[in-house]
């Protein structure tokens, strides 16, 4: 469970918590971060989870594939010139 910090956006708190867990290795490379799972885990709406995942993508911690999910690690199709 997360203790919501008043005055801090939930999507940011989730993004920070996931970042910590990924860095700590609690969520292994290749691990799936599904929106439904995170919704239940953090008790927030899907849009909030998606905002957090978007932040993690910006931080290059995960990549997302439609119909498949969001996975820990670098995007294999990332930067090919």
Partner DNA sequence: AGATATTTGTTCGTATGTATC
Partner DNA sequence: GGATACATACGAACAAATATC
Site of interaction with DNA (CB under 7 A): 9-12, 32-37, 43-48, 50-51, 64-70
Q: Could you tell me the two tokens for 20? A: 């910590």
Nearer to DNA, 25 or 37 (CB): 37
Residue 22 burial (10 A CB sphere; 0-12, 13-18, 19+) = buried
Q: How far is the CB of 16 from DNA (least distance, A)?
A: 12
Identity of the residue, 19 or 34, whose beta carbon is nearer to DNA in the bound complex: 34
Output the smallest distance, CB 62 to DNA, in A: 9
């Amino acid at each position: 469970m997360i203790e919501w910090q008043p005055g801090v956006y939930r999507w940011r708190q989730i993004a920070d918590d996931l970042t910590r867990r990924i860095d700590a290795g609690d969520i292994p490379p290749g691990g799936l971060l599904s929106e439904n799972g995170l919704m239940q885990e953090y008790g927030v709406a899907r849009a909030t989870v998606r905002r957090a995942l978007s932040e993690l993508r910006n931080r290059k911690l995960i990549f997302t594939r439609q119909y498949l999910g969001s996975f820990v690690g670098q995007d294999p199709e990332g930067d090919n010139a």
